[in-house]
A and B are shown apart, each in its own frame.
Chain A
């Protein structure tokens, strides 16, 4: 039986086959290391030199009170939509300063969803200025840096990591109450990097997004596994696209059937909180395409009510860490 290892490892590009990874306790000591030009460095067991950008990131992030990750193993389940709504909901309070950081480098959707796709980033003496949707909602995304929206960003891991590091240390976020970080699908470079870069500053928690089908839940299970491996607190699970109400006959049907019990069962099985289920509403997608806030446009819709319920419950009134301190709420 062939088995894939599944540890968080750092194997350099030019490493010999079966390299245990530079961070491994066996680094420089296994058979595979014989003959590797870096064997001595690995074997010396000296702590690796820290990333020189870490102190700058820590400095910059010291002005950010809460850092929230939006994650999901699967693509297209509504991470960016949820991130945008969360941003808008926070920013509805004029006293609250919110930032949204889009680390989906190859497929940035945040600028479109927030209606600022044509904007550009400006740099000043204090760093890159985020693009502001409104006075208290700043956004940073690679989407603002491309010459044309048609351009593909064909970058391998290290380059993506470099940009993420810059987003954290070079963006002039100012004082923020919340920084919401939208991620690409999967558990790879972007995710590892953000966790590593924010290790010292601390991530307050992650919201996981899923849809009801097993194919999506499978990937979310992997994401939960990831969070537990790297020690990120899971705030809870949001089930998107659960049920669809036909605008013609008002009957609710399940487009993506929860064949294995959906988000509810997953939350139970994995011991995490189900924050809520948001029904599929074609107007959500449309709002995202036009870059307007769904919450403002259709406040009466069931989907909007579900969204607000999640946001209220989790982020303003109930939860321990996030809302316990009221000093910046008032």
Chain B
């Protein structure tokens, strides 16, 4: 593999770990897992710096989930300035095509080459600064976006790893399997598998319903020799938190001033997201997942050369 320097490798030099969140199927919770992963990494220490890049170009959800709807990206002499979810602390940087749209409902109707160009720009032109982790949220499938990501990040391949998200149904597991085949074909290390939407607790009687059946993810991990990172039940609190985190307040304050993240209202707003997230039951469960991710990551870095080529 040619390790010549490219604009992407230069830009990502200062990023320690790059974690790509994948799933063959749509709507299994990639974006919510990416968001949770970023939030958990963020709160794992008071100095950790995390970036989250949304390469779902035709259906970006990350801005909404982080309560950043309506923000815009600004150009600096050193590239695009990401939107900071935690305001002035600037430890949780976010970039998405959602920030580039004129109107919320605008569709991005792009074929492969244009998506490829955008991804390249995201990887080479965003001023992330020093990052401990860059979490990359992807669209469903194994197509242009995924191939472009891997292609452009080839020079930093040794720092790449991935997490696969699935739900317990057979239909989703089948796509997760395809996704796993993809990671094997492109030689991308898999930190493990997360089973999302595994059961739903009735808020009235507490009975657990397996809305989308259960256990399939763990079974698949065992069969394929993958690490099982954990299962997350449907958490209505989390759904509402990530769904309703309306950026209207933050957006209006950002809209009135040309400075991206100095408005006083913003830090409080976004800290609130983290605080409220910390109270959900998912946050508790995710702690264990994060530990396993961290363990996989350290194992992974021990054997970087043998894993490659």
Interface of A with B (CB < 8 Å)?
Answer: 1-4, 6-13, 15, 73-77, 80, 105-107, 109, 112-113, 149-158, 160, 184-189, 191-192, 211, 213-216, 218-219, 221-226, 229-230, 244, 246-249, 251, 253-257, 259-260, 280, 282, 285-286, 288-290
Chain A residues with Cβ below 8 Å from B57 are 188
Do A150 and B177 contact each other (CB < 8 Å), given the known contacts A74-B27, A226-B109, A288-B171?
A: yes
A23 to B180, CA, bound (A): 38
Chain B residues with Cβ below 8 Å from A189 are 111-112, 144
Residue of B nearest to A248 (CB): B207
Chain B residues with Cβ below 8 Å from A2 are 72-75, 80, 100
A157 to B116, CA, bound (A): 11
Interface of A is mostly: loop
Q: For residues 249 through 266 of chain B, which have their beta carbon under 8 Å from a beta carbon of chain A?
A: none
Find out whether the CB atom of A218 lies under 8 angstroms from the CB atom of B100: no
In angstroms, how far is the closest chain A Cβ from the Cβ of B251?
A: 14
Chain A residues with Cβ below 8 Å from B112 are 13, 156-158, 188-189
- List the one stretch of B198-206, B269-277, B289-297 in contact with chain A: B198-206
Find A218's partner among B104, B108, B175, B186 (CB 8 Å cutoff): B104
Find B113's partner among A12, A150, A229, A282 (CB 8 Å cutoff): A12
Find out whether the CB atom of A156 lies under 8 angstroms from the CB atom of B144: yes
Chain A residues with Cβ below 8 Å from B141 are 106-107, 184
Find out whether the CB atom of A156 lies under 8 angstroms from the CB atom of B243: no
Residue of B nearest to A219 (CB): B59
What is the interface residue range for chain B against chain A? 35 or more
Find out whether the CB atom of A222 lies under 8 angstroms from the CB atom of B108: yes
A184 to B24, CA, bound (A): 11
Do A150 and B181 contact each other (CB < 8 Å), given the known contacts A215-B65, A282-B213, A289-B171?
A: yes
Find out whether the CB atom of B205 lies under 8 angstroms from the CB atom of A246: yes
- List the one stretch of B4-12, B13-21, B155-163, B233-241 in contact with chain A: B233-241
**Additional A-B contact list (15), CB under 8 Å, known A6-B102, A154-B143, A288-B170:** A73-B58, A75-B26, A80-B171, A149-B178, A185-B26, A191-B109, A214-B244, A218-B105, A222-B59, A225-B105, A246-B204, A251-B205, A256-B243, A282-B210, A285-B213
Residue of B nearest to A2 (CB): B73
Find out whether the CB atom of B239 lies under 8 angstroms from the CB atom of A4: no
Q: For residues 86 through 117 of chain B, which have their beta carbon under 8 Å from a beta carbon of chain A?
A: 97, 100-102, 104-117
In angstroms, how far is the closest chain A Cβ from the Cβ of B238?
A: 11
Find B100's partner among A3, A77, A185, A211 (CB 8 Å cutoff): A3
Residue of A nearest to B146 (CB): A154
Chain A residues with Cβ below 8 Å from B243 are 213-215, 256-257, 259
